[in-house]
Structure 1
Amino acid sequence: MLKDSTMWYASWFDTPYYHILYKDRGHQEAQQFMDNLSGYLSLEQDEKILDLACGKGRHSIYLNQLGFDVTGVDLSKNSIDYAAKFENETLRFRVHDMSKPYSEKFSAVFNLFTSFGYFEKEECNLNTIKAIKSNLNEKGFGVIDFMNVDYVIDNLIPEETKEVSGIIFHIKRYVKEGYIFKEIKFNVNDEELFFTERVKALTLKDFQNYFEEAEVNLLDIFGNYQLEKFHKTTSPRLILIFK
Protein backbone atom coordinates (compact mmCIF):
# COMPACT_ATOMS: atom_id res chain seq x y z
CA MET A 1 0.00 0.00 0.00
CA LEU A 2 1.64 3.20 -1.19
CA LYS A 3 1.12 6.22 1.05
CA ASP A 4 3.41 8.62 -0.75
CA SER A 5 2.81 11.88 -2.57
CA THR A 6 4.43 15.20 -3.28
CA MET A 7 2.81 16.35 -0.03
CA TRP A 8 4.29 13.42 1.91
CA TYR A 9 4.06 15.31 5.20
CA ALA A 10 0.27 15.62 4.87
CA SER A 11 -0.14 11.84 4.90
CA TRP A 12 2.80 10.51 6.95
CA PHE A 13 2.53 12.99 9.83
CA ASP A 14 -1.18 12.22 10.14
CA THR A 15 -0.66 8.50 10.76
CA PRO A 16 -0.16 6.93 14.21
CA TYR A 17 2.94 5.17 12.88
CA TYR A 18 4.90 8.41 12.53
CA HIS A 19 4.48 9.01 16.26
CA ILE A 20 5.29 5.38 17.09
CA LEU A 21 8.56 5.51 15.15
CA TYR A 22 9.67 8.74 16.80
CA LYS A 23 8.19 8.24 20.25
CA ASP A 24 11.63 8.01 21.91
CA ARG A 25 12.75 11.48 20.87
CA GLY A 26 14.67 13.17 23.67
CA HIS A 27 12.17 15.13 25.73
CA GLN A 28 14.84 16.18 28.23
CA GLU A 29 17.04 17.54 25.45
CA ALA A 30 14.05 19.38 23.97
CA GLN A 31 13.26 20.95 27.34
CA GLN A 32 16.85 22.04 27.87
CA PHE A 33 16.79 23.63 24.42
CA MET A 34 13.64 25.57 25.32
CA ASP A 35 15.26 26.67 28.61
CA ASN A 36 18.37 27.85 26.76
CA LEU A 37 16.47 29.51 23.95
CA SER A 38 13.93 31.40 26.06
CA GLY A 39 16.77 32.57 28.32
CA TYR A 40 18.90 33.73 25.39
CA LEU A 41 15.95 35.68 23.94
CA SER A 42 15.15 37.16 27.38
CA LEU A 43 11.50 36.21 27.02
CA GLU A 44 9.38 37.17 30.02
CA GLN A 45 6.51 35.17 31.49
CA ASP A 46 3.16 35.63 29.74
CA GLU A 47 4.80 36.69 26.48
CA LYS A 48 3.23 35.10 23.42
CA ILE A 49 5.04 32.37 21.46
CA LEU A 50 3.96 30.70 18.20
CA ASP A 51 5.20 27.11 17.82
CA LEU A 52 5.13 26.61 14.04
CA ALA A 53 4.70 22.98 12.88
CA CYS A 54 4.25 21.91 16.51
CA GLY A 55 3.38 18.25 15.90
CA LYS A 56 1.81 16.76 19.03
CA GLY A 57 2.89 19.79 21.02
CA ARG A 58 5.82 18.65 23.17
CA HIS A 59 7.67 21.98 22.85
CA SER A 60 4.47 24.01 23.19
CA ILE A 61 3.40 22.20 26.36
CA TYR A 62 6.77 22.70 28.02
CA LEU A 63 6.99 26.36 27.01
CA ASN A 64 3.56 26.87 28.55
CA GLN A 65 4.79 25.22 31.75
CA LEU A 66 7.58 27.81 31.80
CA GLY A 67 4.91 30.51 31.97
CA PHE A 68 4.52 31.57 28.34
CA ASP A 69 1.29 32.11 26.41
CA VAL A 70 1.68 29.56 23.60
CA THR A 71 -0.10 28.82 20.35
CA GLY A 72 0.90 25.62 18.56
CA VAL A 73 -0.05 25.17 14.91
CA ASP A 74 0.40 22.25 12.55
CA LEU A 75 -1.01 20.96 9.27
CA SER A 76 -1.77 17.54 10.80
CA LYS A 77 -5.29 17.46 12.20
CA ASN A 78 -4.56 14.24 14.09
CA SER A 79 -1.56 15.81 15.83
CA ILE A 80 -3.56 18.91 16.74
CA ASP A 81 -6.45 16.80 18.03
CA TYR A 82 -4.01 15.00 20.32
CA ALA A 83 -2.27 18.19 21.48
CA ALA A 84 -5.63 19.89 22.16
CA LYS A 85 -6.08 17.59 25.17
CA PHE A 86 -3.46 19.73 26.94
CA GLU A 87 -5.05 23.11 26.20
CA ASN A 88 -5.67 25.70 28.89
CA GLU A 89 -6.24 29.45 29.05
CA THR A 90 -2.68 30.15 27.86
CA LEU A 91 -2.11 27.12 25.62
CA ARG A 92 -4.03 26.46 22.43
CA PHE A 93 -3.55 24.36 19.29
CA ARG A 94 -4.83 25.03 15.77
CA VAL A 95 -4.59 23.44 12.31
CA HIS A 96 -2.65 25.89 10.13
CA ASP A 97 -0.39 25.98 7.05
CA MET A 98 2.93 27.49 8.15
CA SER A 99 3.56 29.09 4.73
CA LYS A 100 0.71 31.49 5.47
CA PRO A 101 0.64 34.20 8.17
CA TYR A 102 -1.23 33.44 11.37
CA SER A 103 -3.81 35.92 12.65
CA GLU A 104 -1.80 37.24 15.64
CA LYS A 105 1.53 38.82 16.57
CA PHE A 106 4.05 37.13 18.87
CA SER A 107 7.20 37.87 20.85
CA ALA A 108 8.76 34.76 19.31
CA VAL A 109 7.97 32.35 16.48
CA PHE A 110 9.70 28.97 16.79
CA ASN A 111 10.08 26.47 13.94
CA LEU A 112 11.77 23.50 15.61
CA PHE A 113 13.27 20.07 14.93
CA THR A 114 13.77 20.40 11.15
CA SER A 115 10.16 21.33 10.42
CA PHE A 116 11.14 23.27 7.30
CA GLY A 117 11.99 22.45 3.68
CA TYR A 118 9.09 20.04 3.13
CA PHE A 119 7.29 21.87 0.36
CA GLU A 120 7.20 20.85 -3.28
CA LYS A 121 7.22 24.50 -4.40
CA GLU A 122 10.28 26.55 -3.57
CA GLU A 123 8.16 29.66 -3.14
CA CYS A 124 6.46 28.06 -0.12
CA ASN A 125 9.78 27.96 1.77
CA LEU A 126 10.27 31.67 1.14
CA ASN A 127 6.64 32.36 2.03
CA THR A 128 7.17 30.60 5.38
CA ILE A 129 10.01 33.01 6.20
CA LYS A 130 7.80 35.94 5.19
CA ALA A 131 4.93 34.55 7.29
CA ILE A 132 7.18 34.26 10.35
CA LYS A 133 8.32 37.85 9.87
CA SER A 134 4.72 39.07 9.59
CA ASN A 135 3.80 37.27 12.83
CA LEU A 136 6.49 38.97 14.93
CA ASN A 137 5.64 41.97 17.08
CA GLU A 138 7.98 44.97 17.22
CA LYS A 139 10.50 43.27 19.50
CA GLY A 140 9.84 39.70 18.35
CA PHE A 141 12.38 37.07 17.27
CA GLY A 142 12.11 34.25 14.74
CA VAL A 143 13.90 30.95 15.35
CA ILE A 144 14.47 28.13 12.85
CA ASP A 145 16.03 24.93 14.22
CA PHE A 146 17.16 22.98 11.15
CA MET A 147 19.56 20.12 10.58
CA ASN A 148 23.14 20.97 9.58
CA VAL A 149 23.01 19.44 6.12
CA ASP A 150 26.79 19.04 5.75
CA TYR A 151 27.03 17.15 9.04
CA VAL A 152 23.96 15.01 8.31
CA ILE A 153 25.17 13.96 4.86
CA ASP A 154 28.66 13.14 6.16
CA ASN A 155 27.11 10.95 8.89
CA LEU A 156 24.20 9.49 6.93
CA ILE A 157 23.27 5.92 7.85
CA PRO A 158 22.15 4.41 4.50
CA GLU A 159 20.06 1.58 5.95
CA GLU A 160 18.87 0.41 9.35
CA THR A 161 16.11 -1.61 10.99
CA LYS A 162 14.32 -0.45 14.16
CA GLU A 163 11.71 -2.26 16.21
CA VAL A 164 9.36 0.06 18.08
CA SER A 165 6.18 -1.06 19.86
CA GLY A 166 6.31 -4.41 18.06
CA ILE A 167 6.57 -2.85 14.59
CA ILE A 168 9.73 -3.46 12.56
CA PHE A 169 10.63 -0.37 10.54
CA HIS A 170 13.02 -0.77 7.60
CA ILE A 171 14.64 2.62 6.96
CA LYS A 172 16.68 3.71 3.97
CA ARG A 173 18.35 7.14 3.62
CA TYR A 174 19.90 8.83 0.60
CA VAL A 175 20.53 12.20 -1.04
CA LYS A 176 18.99 12.93 -4.43
CA GLU A 177 18.36 16.08 -6.47
CA GLY A 178 19.00 18.44 -3.57
CA TYR A 179 16.84 16.57 -1.04
CA ILE A 180 17.55 14.18 1.81
CA PHE A 181 15.21 11.20 1.57
CA LYS A 182 14.17 8.68 4.19
CA GLU A 183 12.17 5.69 2.99
CA ILE A 184 10.23 3.85 5.70
CA LYS A 185 8.71 0.40 5.12
CA PHE A 186 6.87 -1.74 7.66
CA ASN A 187 4.12 -4.32 7.99
CA VAL A 188 0.96 -3.93 10.09
CA ASN A 189 -1.73 -6.63 10.16
CA ASP A 190 -0.25 -8.25 7.04
CA GLU A 191 -0.44 -4.94 5.18
CA GLU A 192 2.79 -3.56 3.74
CA LEU A 193 3.08 0.19 4.30
CA PHE A 194 5.55 2.59 2.72
CA PHE A 195 6.20 6.26 3.41
CA THR A 196 8.86 8.67 2.27
CA GLU A 197 10.19 11.70 4.13
CA ARG A 198 11.81 14.31 1.93
CA VAL A 199 13.51 17.44 3.23
CA LYS A 200 15.34 19.97 1.10
CA ALA A 201 19.08 19.96 1.81
CA LEU A 202 19.19 23.63 2.77
CA THR A 203 22.53 25.13 3.77
CA LEU A 204 23.27 28.27 5.76
CA LYS A 205 23.77 30.08 2.45
CA ASP A 206 20.30 28.99 1.28
CA PHE A 207 18.72 30.43 4.42
CA GLN A 208 20.73 33.63 4.05
CA ASN A 209 19.30 33.96 0.53
CA TYR A 210 15.75 33.43 1.86
CA PHE A 211 16.33 36.02 4.57
CA GLU A 212 17.69 38.56 2.10
CA GLU A 213 14.71 38.13 -0.20
CA ALA A 214 12.25 38.29 2.72
CA GLU A 215 14.08 41.33 4.15
CA VAL A 216 14.82 39.48 7.39
CA ASN A 217 17.87 40.21 9.56
CA LEU A 218 19.93 37.21 10.70
CA LEU A 219 21.13 37.95 14.23
CA ASP A 220 22.86 34.80 15.43
CA ILE A 221 23.71 31.21 14.45
CA PHE A 222 24.14 28.24 16.80
CA GLY A 223 25.22 24.67 16.14
CA ASN A 224 23.52 22.67 18.90
CA TYR A 225 20.88 22.82 21.61
CA GLN A 226 23.41 24.18 24.12
CA LEU A 227 23.60 27.26 21.83
CA GLU A 228 27.28 26.80 21.05
CA LYS A 229 28.91 28.32 18.00
CA PHE A 230 28.00 26.85 14.60
CA HIS A 231 30.69 24.88 12.77
CA LYS A 232 29.93 23.71 9.24
CA THR A 233 31.49 20.25 9.58
CA THR A 234 30.92 19.32 13.24
CA SER A 235 27.68 20.96 14.39
CA PRO A 236 24.62 18.67 14.35
CA ARG A 237 22.14 21.58 14.12
CA LEU A 238 21.73 24.87 12.29
CA ILE A 239 19.83 27.19 14.64
CA LEU A 240 19.02 30.61 13.18
CA ILE A 241 17.88 33.64 15.20
CA PHE A 242 16.40 36.47 13.15
CA LYS A 243 13.93 39.33 13.06
Structure 2
Amino acid sequence: MLKDSTMWYASWFDTPYYHILYKDRDDTEAQNFMDNLTHYLSLEADEKILDLACGKGRHSIYLNKLGYNVTGADLSKNSITYASQFENEALKFRVHDMRKPYSEKFSAVFNLFTSFGYFDKEEDNLNTIKAIKSNLNNKGFGVIDFMNVDYIIDNLIEDEIKEVDGISFKIRRYHENGYIIKEIRFRDNDEDFFFTERVKSISLADFENYFKEANVDLLDIFGNYQLQKFNKNNSPRLILIFK
Protein backbone atom coordinates (compact mmCIF):
# COMPACT_ATOMS: atom_id res chain seq x y z
CA MET A 1 0.00 0.00 0.00
CA LEU A 2 1.31 3.43 -0.94
CA LYS A 3 1.29 5.93 1.89
CA ASP A 4 1.13 9.67 1.46
CA SER A 5 4.20 11.64 2.48
CA THR A 6 4.20 14.75 4.64
CA MET A 7 4.22 16.67 1.37
CA TRP A 8 1.14 14.79 0.16
CA TYR A 9 0.79 16.97 -2.92
CA ALA A 10 4.28 16.01 -4.14
CA SER A 11 3.38 12.31 -4.32
CA TRP A 12 -0.33 12.42 -5.22
CA PHE A 13 -0.17 15.08 -7.97
CA ASP A 14 2.64 13.18 -9.70
CA THR A 15 0.62 9.98 -10.08
CA PRO A 16 -1.54 9.18 -13.13
CA TYR A 17 -4.39 8.34 -10.74
CA TYR A 18 -4.79 11.98 -9.68
CA HIS A 19 -5.55 12.92 -13.29
CA ILE A 20 -7.83 9.89 -13.77
CA LEU A 21 -9.91 10.77 -10.71
CA TYR A 22 -10.37 14.37 -11.81
CA LYS A 23 -10.64 13.84 -15.57
CA ASP A 24 -14.26 15.00 -15.60
CA ARG A 25 -13.46 18.56 -14.52
CA ASP A 26 -15.60 21.08 -16.35
CA ASP A 27 -13.36 22.74 -18.96
CA THR A 28 -16.23 24.93 -20.16
CA GLU A 29 -16.68 26.31 -16.65
CA ALA A 30 -12.92 26.89 -16.36
CA GLN A 31 -12.80 28.69 -19.71
CA ASN A 32 -15.77 30.89 -18.84
CA PHE A 33 -14.01 31.81 -15.60
CA MET A 34 -10.89 32.83 -17.53
CA ASP A 35 -13.04 34.90 -19.92
CA ASN A 36 -14.73 36.65 -17.01
CA LEU A 37 -11.52 37.18 -15.06
CA THR A 38 -9.38 38.56 -17.89
CA HIS A 39 -12.24 40.88 -18.91
CA TYR A 40 -12.66 42.11 -15.34
CA LEU A 41 -8.91 42.79 -15.03
CA SER A 42 -8.86 44.50 -18.46
CA LEU A 43 -5.85 42.46 -19.52
CA GLU A 44 -4.69 43.28 -23.04
CA ALA A 45 -3.41 40.81 -25.63
CA ASP A 46 0.25 39.79 -25.20
CA GLU A 47 0.32 40.73 -21.52
CA LYS A 48 2.20 38.24 -19.35
CA ILE A 49 0.31 35.91 -17.01
CA LEU A 50 1.78 33.44 -14.50
CA ASP A 51 -0.49 30.43 -13.86
CA LEU A 52 0.87 29.33 -10.49
CA ALA A 53 0.30 25.64 -9.61
CA CYS A 54 -0.89 25.07 -13.17
CA GLY A 55 -1.14 21.26 -13.08
CA LYS A 56 -1.36 19.90 -16.62
CA GLY A 57 -1.96 23.39 -17.91
CA ARG A 58 -5.64 23.55 -18.82
CA HIS A 59 -6.01 27.19 -17.72
CA SER A 60 -2.63 28.16 -19.19
CA ILE A 61 -3.43 26.66 -22.58
CA TYR A 62 -6.77 28.45 -22.79
CA LEU A 63 -5.30 31.78 -21.63
CA ASN A 64 -2.69 31.47 -24.37
CA LYS A 65 -5.46 30.88 -26.92
CA LEU A 66 -7.01 34.15 -25.75
CA GLY A 67 -3.81 35.90 -26.83
CA TYR A 68 -1.82 36.16 -23.62
CA ASN A 69 1.85 35.37 -23.01
CA VAL A 70 1.54 32.64 -20.39
CA THR A 71 3.92 30.82 -18.08
CA GLY A 72 2.56 27.76 -16.30
CA ALA A 73 4.46 26.77 -13.16
CA ASP A 74 3.96 23.70 -10.99
CA LEU A 75 5.89 21.55 -8.50
CA SER A 76 4.89 18.34 -10.30
CA LYS A 77 7.53 17.35 -12.85
CA ASN A 78 5.16 14.86 -14.47
CA SER A 79 2.46 17.51 -14.97
CA ILE A 80 4.97 19.96 -16.45
CA THR A 81 6.36 17.27 -18.74
CA TYR A 82 2.86 16.60 -20.03
CA ALA A 83 1.96 20.28 -20.40
CA SER A 84 5.21 21.08 -22.23
CA GLN A 85 3.91 19.41 -25.40
CA PHE A 86 1.62 22.43 -25.83
CA GLU A 87 4.39 25.04 -25.60
CA ASN A 88 4.84 27.75 -28.20
CA GLU A 89 6.53 31.15 -28.38
CA ALA A 90 3.96 32.63 -25.99
CA LEU A 91 3.34 29.58 -23.78
CA LYS A 92 5.90 27.84 -21.59
CA PHE A 93 5.82 25.50 -18.62
CA ARG A 94 8.35 25.30 -15.80
CA VAL A 95 8.83 23.29 -12.59
CA HIS A 96 8.63 25.79 -9.76
CA ASP A 97 7.85 25.97 -6.03
CA MET A 98 5.20 28.67 -5.52
CA ARG A 99 6.59 29.57 -2.11
CA LYS A 100 9.50 31.22 -3.93
CA PRO A 101 9.39 34.21 -6.29
CA TYR A 102 9.58 33.45 -10.01
CA SER A 103 12.33 35.08 -12.05
CA GLU A 104 10.00 37.37 -14.07
CA LYS A 105 7.34 40.03 -13.53
CA PHE A 106 3.75 39.62 -14.76
CA SER A 107 0.60 41.64 -15.37
CA ALA A 108 -1.32 38.94 -13.50
CA VAL A 109 -0.52 35.95 -11.31
CA PHE A 110 -3.32 33.39 -11.07
CA ASN A 111 -3.49 30.71 -8.37
CA LEU A 112 -6.57 28.73 -9.40
CA PHE A 113 -8.81 25.83 -8.39
CA THR A 114 -7.85 25.61 -4.70
CA SER A 115 -4.11 25.37 -5.32
CA PHE A 116 -3.31 27.02 -1.98
CA GLY A 117 -3.21 25.93 1.65
CA TYR A 118 -1.32 22.66 1.12
CA PHE A 119 1.48 23.45 3.52
CA ASP A 120 1.87 22.48 7.17
CA LYS A 121 3.73 25.67 8.11
CA GLU A 122 1.90 28.97 8.30
CA GLU A 123 4.92 30.81 6.98
CA ASP A 124 4.72 28.81 3.74
CA ASN A 125 1.22 30.16 3.04
CA LEU A 126 2.43 33.66 3.84
CA ASN A 127 5.55 33.21 1.73
CA THR A 128 3.41 32.15 -1.24
CA ILE A 129 1.44 35.40 -1.03
CA LYS A 130 4.65 37.39 -0.69
CA ALA A 131 6.06 35.59 -3.72
CA ILE A 132 2.94 36.38 -5.76
CA LYS A 133 3.22 40.05 -4.82
CA SER A 134 6.90 40.13 -5.81
CA ASN A 135 6.03 38.61 -9.21
CA LEU A 136 3.62 41.44 -10.13
CA ASN A 137 4.69 44.34 -12.28
CA ASN A 138 3.65 47.89 -11.39
CA LYS A 139 0.09 47.45 -12.68
CA GLY A 140 -0.20 43.72 -11.99
CA PHE A 141 -2.97 41.86 -10.14
CA GLY A 142 -2.85 38.72 -8.02
CA VAL A 143 -5.77 36.28 -8.00
CA ILE A 144 -6.35 33.41 -5.59
CA ASP A 145 -9.29 31.13 -6.40
CA PHE A 146 -9.94 29.17 -3.19
CA MET A 147 -12.88 27.25 -1.78
CA ASN A 148 -15.32 28.98 0.56
CA VAL A 149 -14.52 26.85 3.59
CA ASP A 150 -17.70 27.74 5.49
CA TYR A 151 -19.87 26.55 2.60
CA ILE A 152 -17.71 23.46 1.96
CA ILE A 153 -17.76 22.33 5.60
CA ASP A 154 -21.53 22.82 5.85
CA ASN A 155 -22.09 20.79 2.66
CA LEU A 156 -19.38 18.16 3.04
CA ILE A 157 -20.17 14.80 1.42
CA GLU A 158 -18.50 12.46 3.89
CA ASP A 159 -18.43 9.24 1.87
CA GLU A 160 -18.50 8.70 -1.89
CA ILE A 161 -17.57 6.01 -4.40
CA LYS A 162 -16.50 7.29 -7.81
CA GLU A 163 -16.01 4.93 -10.76
CA VAL A 164 -13.57 6.22 -13.38
CA ASP A 165 -11.85 4.19 -16.11
CA GLY A 166 -12.69 0.94 -14.35
CA ILE A 167 -11.24 2.08 -11.03
CA SER A 168 -13.45 2.38 -7.98
CA PHE A 169 -12.24 5.34 -5.90
CA LYS A 170 -13.53 5.23 -2.32
CA ILE A 171 -13.46 8.78 -0.97
CA ARG A 172 -13.89 9.93 2.62
CA ARG A 173 -14.00 13.63 3.55
CA TYR A 174 -13.84 15.29 6.96
CA HIS A 175 -12.76 18.48 8.71
CA GLU A 176 -10.14 18.05 11.43
CA ASN A 177 -7.66 20.32 13.20
CA GLY A 178 -8.16 23.19 10.81
CA TYR A 179 -7.83 21.10 7.63
CA ILE A 180 -10.30 19.70 5.13
CA ILE A 181 -9.11 16.17 4.49
CA LYS A 182 -9.97 13.80 1.68
CA GLU A 183 -8.85 10.16 1.96
CA ILE A 184 -8.73 8.29 -1.36
CA ARG A 185 -8.53 4.50 -1.49
CA PHE A 186 -8.63 2.27 -4.56
CA ARG A 187 -7.28 -0.92 -6.07
CA ASP A 188 -5.66 -1.23 -9.49
CA ASN A 189 -3.58 -4.00 -11.09
CA ASP A 190 -3.89 -6.10 -7.91
CA GLU A 191 -2.36 -3.35 -5.79
CA ASP A 192 -4.00 -1.24 -3.09
CA PHE A 193 -3.43 2.52 -3.03
CA PHE A 194 -4.09 5.17 -0.42
CA PHE A 195 -3.61 8.91 -0.83
CA THR A 196 -4.65 11.90 1.23
CA GLU A 197 -5.50 15.42 0.16
CA ARG A 198 -5.11 17.88 3.01
CA VAL A 199 -5.98 21.55 2.54
CA LYS A 200 -6.01 24.16 5.29
CA SER A 201 -9.49 25.56 5.93
CA ILE A 202 -8.52 29.18 5.31
CA SER A 203 -11.35 31.67 5.79
CA LEU A 204 -11.69 35.16 4.34
CA ALA A 205 -10.56 36.56 7.69
CA ASP A 206 -7.46 34.34 7.56
CA PHE A 207 -6.61 35.59 4.07
CA GLU A 208 -7.09 39.18 5.22
CA ASN A 209 -4.53 38.52 7.98
CA TYR A 210 -2.08 37.04 5.46
CA PHE A 211 -2.55 40.02 3.17
CA LYS A 212 -2.00 42.49 5.99
CA GLU A 213 1.23 40.74 6.99
CA ALA A 214 2.41 40.56 3.38
CA ASN A 215 1.53 44.25 2.77
CA VAL A 216 -0.98 43.25 0.08
CA ASP A 217 -4.05 45.31 -0.82
CA LEU A 218 -7.28 43.31 -1.21
CA LEU A 219 -9.26 44.93 -4.03
CA ASP A 220 -12.28 42.70 -4.59
CA ILE A 221 -13.93 39.44 -3.49
CA PHE A 222 -16.14 37.16 -5.58
CA GLY A 223 -18.09 34.03 -4.68
CA ASN A 224 -18.26 32.08 -7.94
CA TYR A 225 -16.82 31.83 -11.44
CA GLN A 226 -19.42 34.28 -12.75
CA LEU A 227 -17.75 36.86 -10.46
CA GLN A 228 -20.84 37.44 -8.38
CA LYS A 229 -20.66 38.94 -4.90
CA PHE A 230 -19.20 36.71 -2.19
CA ASN A 231 -21.60 35.39 0.44
CA LYS A 232 -20.13 33.44 3.35
CA ASN A 233 -23.14 31.11 3.63
CA ASN A 234 -23.84 30.12 0.03
CA SER A 235 -20.93 31.04 -2.24
CA PRO A 236 -19.03 27.93 -3.44
CA ARG A 237 -15.79 29.83 -4.09
CA LEU A 238 -13.67 32.53 -2.45
CA ILE A 239 -11.99 34.50 -5.28
CA LEU A 240 -9.63 37.22 -4.10
CA ILE A 241 -8.26 40.03 -6.29
CA PHE A 242 -5.27 41.88 -4.84
CA LYS A 243 -2.09 43.78 -5.55
TM-score w.r.t. length of structure 2: 1.00
The question of whether the paired residues in 2 share the 8 Å contact of 1:48 and 1:107 is answered with yes
Q: CA deviation at 1:2?
A: 2.6
For residues 3 and 58 of structure 2, the distance between their equivalents in structure 1, rounded to whole angstroms, comes to: 26
**Unpaired stretches in structure 2, ≥5 consecutive residues:** none
The percent of aligned pairs where both chains have the same amino acid is: 80
Could you tell me which amino acid in structure 1 is paired with residue 133 of structure 2? K
Could you tell me how far apart the structure 2 residues matched to 1:183 and 1:194 are? Answer: 7
CA shift digits 1:198-221 (9 cap, x unpaired): 000000000000000000000000
| Correspondence for 1:118 | 118
**Alignment-derived partner of residue 129 in structure 1:** 129
Which amino acid letter does the alignment assign opposite residue 45 of structure 1? Answer: A
Contact 1:3-1:12 at 8 Å conserved across structures:
no
Q: Secondary structure at the match of 1:180?
A: strand
TM-score, structure 1 length as denominator? 1.00
Contact 1:3 1:11 in 2 (8 A): no
Query: How many residue pairs align between the two structures?
Result: 243
Look up the SS of the partner of 1:239 in the other structure. strand
Moved over 3 A (4+): none
Structure 1 residues 1-243: aligned runs within 5 Å: 1-243=1-243
Cα deviation for residue 121 of structure 1 reads 1.2
Structure 1 residue runs of 5 or longer lacking an equivalent are: none
Tell me the amino acid that sits aligned with residue 206 of structure 1: D
Quote the Cα distance in structure 2 between the aligned partners of 1:212 and 1:234.
Answer: 26
Aligned-pair CA distance for 1:3: 2.6
Cα displacement string for residues 140-167 of structure 1 (whole angstroms, at most 9, x for unaligned residues): 0000000000000010000000000110
SS of equivalent residue, structure 1 residue 88: coil
Report the AA paired with residue 16 of structure 1: P
- Cα RMSD for the two superposed structures: 0.4
- Is the CA contact (8 Å cut-off) linking 1:175 and 1:181 kept in structure 2? yes
